[in-house]
Amino acid sequence: MAAKDDYLVETLCDMGVVHEDQVDTARTTADMAGVGVVDTLIKQKAINSEHLIRARAMHFGMEVVDLQDVVPTDELVQAMPRHIARRYNVLPLQIDGNSLTVATSDPSDLEMMDGVQRMLPEHEIFYQVASDQQILAALDKFYGGTGQAVERVVQELSQTQVDIDAAAGGKTKKQTEAEIDAGDDSPLIRLVAKIIAEGYKLGCSDVHIEPFERTLRIRYRIDGSLRAVASPPLRLHPPIISRIKIMSSMSISEKRVPQDGRMQQLIGDKVIDFRVSCLPTQYGESIVMRILDKGGLSLGLDQLGFMRDDQETFERCAQMPDGILLVTGPTGSGKTTTLYSCLNLLNTPQKKIITVEDPVEYMLDGINQVQVNELAGMTFSAALRSMLRQAPNIIMLGEIRDAETGTIAVNASLTGHFVFSTLHTNDAPGAITRMIDLGIKPFLVSSATRCVMGQRLVRKICSKCGGKGELTEEELTALEITPEMAASANFRKGAGCKVCGGSGLKGRMGIFEVYPLNDTDRRMIIDGAPTADLRAHAIKCGMKSLRMDGVRKVLAGTTIAQEVISNTTSDQKE
């Protein structure tokens, strides 16, 4: 200890913080007690932690950094994942190309530096010095406080294992699910509840629990992006998975095939529903818990992010007496929320609504919902064929997947029913081609389709820290924003705060392209016009593409340019 202290003692003397006679006295006391000279100087109040930080920085030629005003960004969090930052007690401060500046409290720790460089080989690491307390506080701000909360329960669970071993006479004994799960207050139950509750409080949509060869990883999907948090040790993976499988009515003995289930968790005073998927992987079962929060289903169309003209067009099409309305986009683009918002608009005692879903995620009052069960023969097409005998006014299909389902849906729409459904296509006009590719006759597609809407989700600027912003030349060029458009724009960005986790972005909204078909579109479909021609005609008739709608929202100051650019990369340039 004394040898390690020597450089600090010399530097403290050079700084004039202590005198040599103080050091001599402290060294005598330290040798008698078998402790370090620096620790003795601190105990004697000759120096404090600030002196140590300055001395370490001076000796190694580094800067001292105050972390109180450091704002975490997504780029920094991605550059240094949480498990690395927590393991080595370091904090990412700045990234410039492949150069990453990091804060440490101990620049003499060569093992730490070697470990960080080995874990991040793509970066050249530079260091600045900060206090241990500030680094710990900043780690919570960067990566959320979930880690410490989970770690405390993990420590208690580990102590439970020690107690069991001790009770067994000091012999190692493998802890079983029944032993850990020995009551509502058992550490395992509280660990699983804490993992779920912290994710919900952070506003995540999914909780991911993934085993690997040497680690167990827990991640939360927040506003569409996955964020890793501190995870329990790998040895706790089996009991955690067993606990979740019991909660969601899965078989804990079956580990070779995928399983699906549902469960509820009391968080605060609110009961939250979860859809649970369990998938066997190379290193064990992976669990994903999707939060089914009904709060989003009560959203009106005006809360989804529509500009006024698109909302008026979409609402007019959604209230037609018959025909098909399609919502398109990739998985996770908000199609289900849009469909349910439409049903809320149309759900009145005068109309009978039946849905066919796989799975039924949300139970809605006043709506007849049918669960698809392929094994029992309840396919989309079978359910749709049967529900027509129920004389519904409005039908919602979770997805048109094949020619049989599509043909039945089209025929239903031509016999006085209004049909909502979804397709996986890149844009709205592409849905027409997709329907025909499935095997549905072009004249049927032309006659039945009233409107197609493509959508994506982009993150919104944080309402707490949002302020005036500017776009770079590259962003202006990519979005084709002219100087005239920029002159009247309200460009904004988020500075980063506790509410948004330092990203400057909080919550999501839709960007849309609403494509109502007219007589010319119908003739083009029957004549076999390609998607590009349908798209060009739609824009000529006033349709705003996804990129165009995103630009409008950047100009209005509700999102940032990079969100629109990254989510509309497939948008064709007109």
Whether the per-residue pLDDT at 156 is higher than 80: the answer is no
> In this predicted structure, what is the pLDDT of residue 86?
81
β-pairing verdict for 284-292 and 270-281: antiparallel
pLDDT band per the 50, 70, 90 thresholds, residue 150: low
149 CB-side CA count, 13 A: 17
| Under 8 Å between Cβ of 380 and 356 | yes
pLDDT band per the 50, 70, 90 thresholds, residue 183: very low
pTM recorded for the entire structure: 0.64
pLDDT band per the 50, 70, 90 thresholds, residue 20: confident
Whether the per-residue pLDDT at 446 is higher than 90: the answer is yes
How far apart are alpha carbons 52 and 70 in whole angstroms?
A: 21
> In this predicted structure, what is the pLDDT of residue 298?
56
> Percentage of the chain surpassing pLDDT 90?
40
For 402-436, how does the pLDDT look when each residue is reduced to its tens digit (9 = 90+)? 888 889 889 899 988 999 999 988 899 999 999 99
Average pLDDT, rounded, for the chain = 84
DSSP per-residue string spanning 423-445: E--SSSHHHHHHHHHTT--HHHH
Three-state DSSP at 227 gives: strand
How far apart are alpha carbons 136 and 230 in whole angstroms?
A: 13
Greater confidence, 336 or 159? Answer: 336
> In this predicted structure, what is the pLDDT of residue 155?
56
> In this predicted structure, what is the pLDDT of residue 345?
82
> In this predicted structure, what is the pLDDT of residue 570?
57
How far apart are alpha carbons 526 and 363 in whole angstroms?
A: 39
| Under 8 Å between Cβ of 53 and 105 | yes
For 214-239, how does the pLDDT look when each residue is reduced to its tens digit (9 = 90+)? 889 999 998 888 888 877 888 889 99
Could you tell me the sign of the dihedral formed by the alpha carbons of 565, 566, 568, 569, in that order? positive
For 43-81, how does the pLDDT look when each residue is reduced to its tens digit (9 = 90+)? 777 887 788 888 888 888 889 998 877 777 777 877 888
> In this predicted structure, what is the pLDDT of residue 461?
94
Whether the per-residue pLDDT at 126 is higher than 70: the answer is yes
Instruction: Give mean pLDDT, residues 477-497.
Output: 91
Burial class (CB in 10 A: 0-12, 13-18, 19+), 518: exposed
The three-state DSSP-derived secondary structure of 38-93 is HHHHHHCCCCCHHHHHHHHHHHCCCCECCHHHCCCCHHHHHHCCHHHHHHHCCEEE
How far apart are alpha carbons 419 and 128 in whole angstroms?
A: 61
Q: Identify residue 377 by its one-letter amino acid code.
A: G
Whether the per-residue pLDDT at 251 is higher than 60: the answer is yes
Whether the per-residue pLDDT at 165 is higher than 60: the answer is no
CA-based radius of gyration for the chain? 30
| Under 8 Å between Cβ of 342 and 301 | yes
Instruction: Please state whether 405 falls in left (phi above 0), alpha (psi between -120 and 50) or beta.
Output: alpha
Whether the per-residue pLDDT at 84 is higher than 50: the answer is yes
Q: For residue 276, give both structure tokens.
A: 């649970």
Q: In what order do the strands lie in the sheet with 284-292?
A: 225-229, 216-222, 204-211, 284-292, 270-281, 259-267
> Percentage of the chain surpassing pLDDT 70?
89
Q: Which residues contact 213 (CB under 8 A, 6 or more apart)?
A: 283
> In this predicted structure, what is the pLDDT of residue 434?
93
